[in-house]
Amino acid sequence: MVCTVRGLVKTYPAARGRRGAPATPAVRASDGIDLDVVRGEVFGLLGPNGAGKSTLVRQLTGLLRPDEGRVRVLGHDLVRHPERAARLLGYLGQDSTALDELTVSLAAETTARLRGLETRPARAARDAVIEELGLGEVAGRPLKKLSGGQRRLACVAAALVGERPLLVLDEPTSGMDPVARRAVWAAVDRRRAERGVTVVLVTHNVIEAETVLDRVAVLDRGRVIACDTPAGLKALVADEVRLELVWRTEPPLDVPEVAALRKAAEACRAAGGGSGRRWTLRLPPDDARAAIATVTGGPAFAALDDFTLATPSLEDVYLALGGRAEGADGLVKA
């Protein structure tokens, strides 16, 4: 077991209102979280914005002291000894201010030095990680001058430099193009295959979660509402398919089947589905077939712009598990 979390509670205190800023109530950002991460796996934390993902990883990395609960990483109690986290894990936060004005190569080298490497190994590690992530061309440029995706990639380089048995990465690939993404996942996979490195990953990208994660914990309002393999989670809603309809004009509601579909779509909308001329429905396969037959014939077809039929994604799982109704906006599909 690489990382064990038991009964983690963290409440951000209420903020008093100031002029121009309304008072905010206390937020329970971690509400009794239990987790176990085993060696060598890529473990994901999935959830919409504000679900408590970053708060959780900040407690795993010793940056934030939990109000209650225990965090053990590789046999060390990080609640009692938060300073040990830096010697056990590599962390990629969401912010790059500390590195922004450095060149890519100096950012990697300095981070390696501060991770305890001597000059020569630090330079070797810097060259290796820049080569590995394909940053050679921009190595001499300051992070600030790079595009968002490249800057993120440079931060990943800084997080990966110097070996650590556990990597905690907070949205490592946000803003990256597919090439950079692939480079990151290849680098993570190599560390896992060669050294059994464990990865805890925050994401709100559903597609990415399905492809790279071994297991995923779905967070909502500071609670883990499910934890399983992506396939296992999807199996929870495997008896349904997702049907999306896009109408070009006002749909013919006088057709009773269409009216029934609209009702179903409204129910889904309440749970975060589409709106207006874009309907999202979650249906048993037979019902979906019947619905498609309805909309691809007669007056409905004349009004229909497009439809898609898909097997459920982790987003559907999230909704089915009772994730916050309006919160699905936070989950990115592309």
Positions in 96-135 near another protein (CB under 8 A): 96-99, 101-103, 106-107, 109-111, 113-116, 118-119
Smaller CB separation from another protein, 49 or 249:
49
Contacts of 127 (CB under 8 A, 6+ apart): none
Out of 7, 24, 65, 308, point to the residue binding another protein (CB under 8 A).
65
Out of 53, 58, 151, 191, point to the residue binding another protein (CB under 8 A).
58
3-state secondary structure the chain: CCEEEEEEEEEECCECCECCECCECCEEEEEEEEEEECCCCEEEEECCCCCCHHHHHHHHCCCCCCCEEEEEECCEECCCCHHHHHHCEEEECCCCCCCCCCEHHHHHHHHHHHCCCCHHHHHHHHHHHHHHCCCHHHCCCEHHHCCHHHHHHHHHHHHHCCCCCEEEEECCCCCCCHHHHHHHHHHHHHHHHHHCCEEEEEECEHHHHHHHCCEEEEEECCEEEEEECHHHHHHCCCCCEEEEEEECCCCCCCCHHHHHHHHHHHHHHHCCCCCCCEEEEEECHHHHHHHHHHHCCHHHHHHEEEEEEECCCHHHHHHHCCCCHHHHHHCECC
- Contact pattern for another protein over residues 286 through 305, marking x by CB under 8 A: -x------------------
With contacts defined by CB under 8 A, how many residues of the chain interact with another protein? 90
Smaller CB separation from another protein, 256 or 302:
256
Candidates 123-131, 182-190, 266-274, 296-304: pick the segment binding another protein (CB under 8 A): 266-274
Candidates 87-95, 188-196, 245-253, 297-305: pick the segment binding another protein (CB under 8 A): 87-95
Smaller CB separation from another protein, 187 or 283:
283
24 near another protein, judged by CB under 8 A: no
48 near another protein, judged by CB under 8 A: no
Smaller CB separation from another protein, 1 or 186:
1
Smaller CB separation from another protein, 212 or 224:
224
Candidates 19-27, 72-80, 123-131, 201-209: pick the segment binding another protein (CB under 8 A): 72-80
Question: Smallest Cα–Cα separation from 91: which of 209, 172, 9?
Answer: 172
Smaller CB separation from another protein, 54 or 205:
54
270 near another protein, judged by CB under 8 A: yes
Contacts of 81 (CB under 8 A, 6+ apart): 62
Residue whose tokens read 């193009």: 177
In the range 311-330, which residues lie near another protein by CB under 8 A?
311, 316, 319-322, 325
How would you classify the pairing of strands 166-170 and 198-203? parallel
Smaller CB separation from another protein, 17 or 299:
17
In the range 196-255, which residues lie near another protein by CB under 8 A?
215, 217, 223-228, 232, 235-241
Candidates 22-30, 44-52, 245-253, 260-268: pick the segment binding another protein (CB under 8 A): 260-268
Question: Smallest Cα–Cα separation from 28: which of 11, 14, 16?
Answer: 11
Q: How far is the CB of 258 from another protein (least distance, A)?
A: 15
Q: How far is the CB of 153 from another protein (least distance, A)?
A: 16
Smaller CB separation from another protein, 53 or 215:
215
Smaller CB separation from another protein, 4 or 249:
4
Contacts of 255 (CB under 8 A, 6+ apart): 294, 298, 299, 300
The one-letter code for the residue type at 310 is: A
Q: How far is the CB of 46 from another protein (least distance, A)?
A: 13
Out of 86, 128, 255, 332, point to the residue binding another protein (CB under 8 A).
86
